[in-house]
Structure 1
Amino acid sequence: MSEQNKIDEIKEALAAATPGPWKVSITSVGRHEERLIATEYDHPQLHGPNGIVNHGYGLDGEFVYIKPEDAHFIAKSPEYITYLLQEVERKDEALSFFADDDNYMPTYESPTGTMFSAVEKEGRKRAREAL
């Protein structure tokens, strides 16, 4: 998958998920704690947080409800975060070349005797790597 396709996939998943920010809501019932995920903001009609991962009871017993889009987003989050961190690290590494003052010192000589710096020699390649 290309870099832009992965970024588009992440944007689509984020747009389809319940808008954040989200929080973990902990409720104690006796010795047991229930952890649910809800919005940090109050839903205008519920006058409380909008549930993302909800616990409920039905005729067949207990169940957990989550919108398919939110489930997809939660399940893919480790992959998305790993990918985005790798992209940040890759770009930081490529850009650190331009932050190093030594790379601006003329140290390379062309066949015609002209001196030029590492930035002049490799700058375009490094900039492409950062993109």
Structure 2
Amino acid sequence: MSKQEEIKQALAAATPGPWLLEEGWNDNPMMVMRPDRKVPVAELAFQNYENDANLIAKAPEYIAYLLADNERLEQRNQELDGWATEGFEENQKLVDERDRLRERFEEENSRHTKAIRLLMHVTDILSMGRTPDRAGAALQEIYKWLHENNPVGQEGEGNQ
């Protein structure tokens, strides 16, 4: 049994309140009385008895309040745990998407870098002279690059 359940059972078994404070009889200056005022719950005759008696009289009310507040906070904590779990799962989806996009970007960036190098190489070949041989060499470089790099993706993609 949890401590909270133990406290609830003890509170339920105690004399129901509200308990009352009364001037004591005989040598007892202060008493905490049951609601029917027939039997005292506690008699106090020592130092600070007024404050102690007040605390004892209010104890059932305070305990009931704290138990209810604790239950409310536990329920709220469960709600927040649910939200945190949902937030974590959503965050994980975003991280996965970011990683996927980063990988795709890096692939595309690599492909574009290769294309730029090809264009620079072909430009160098063509700038050496304007002869059919140079144009043929440039075309061979372009075909070779296209065959090695497949810039369109899978076969047939992009030509639809």
TM-score normalised by the chain length of structure 2: 0.31
Which structure: greater helix fraction? 2
Which structure: greater strand fraction? 1
TM-score normalised by the chain length of structure 1: 0.36
Larger Rg: 2
